[in-house]
Amino acid sequence: MKKLICIITALAALLLLAACSGKTEEAVTFRATVLEVREGCYLVEPVEGSAELKSADRITVPIKNAAPSPEPEAGDILEIEYDGRIAESYPAQITTVYSISVIG
């Protein structure tokens, strides 16, 4: 009986660890115009019709997971994939970025 309880406990622990290790949030993608390229981040403005524009008209996005080429410049349109969370500040901030690519 003790052996069975140990096995069940071990299986429960493994299932719990497996559930916690995966990415639990879905990625969100939006497009934005680069206003400034700053040290370590981009200052962007979400394009018209973007849900992110309802949160903020200016968002800082860390330069993480950006496509290596081409380098974004002011006026370029970016496609940004992130965790869906926007910090309420001004300008607003995105901290978890999965990918950034220049699309226009």
Q: 3-class SS at 98?
A: strand
pLDDT by position in tens, the chain (length 104): 666 564 666 555 545 544 444 444 689 999 999 999 999 999 999 999 999 999 899 999 999 888 777 889 999 999 999 999 999 999 999 999 999 999 98
Spatial distance between the Cα atoms of 30 and 50, rounded to a whole number of angstroms: 7
- Tokens at residue 25, please? 């949030």
Domains and CATH numbers, the chain: 28-102 (2.40.50.140)
Strands lying side by side in the sheet with 92-93: 92-93, 59-62, 41-46, 28-38, 77-82, 97-102
Nearest to 35 by CA among 78, 87, 96: 78
Q: What is the pTM of this model?
A: 0.72
Q: 3-class SS at 43?
A: strand
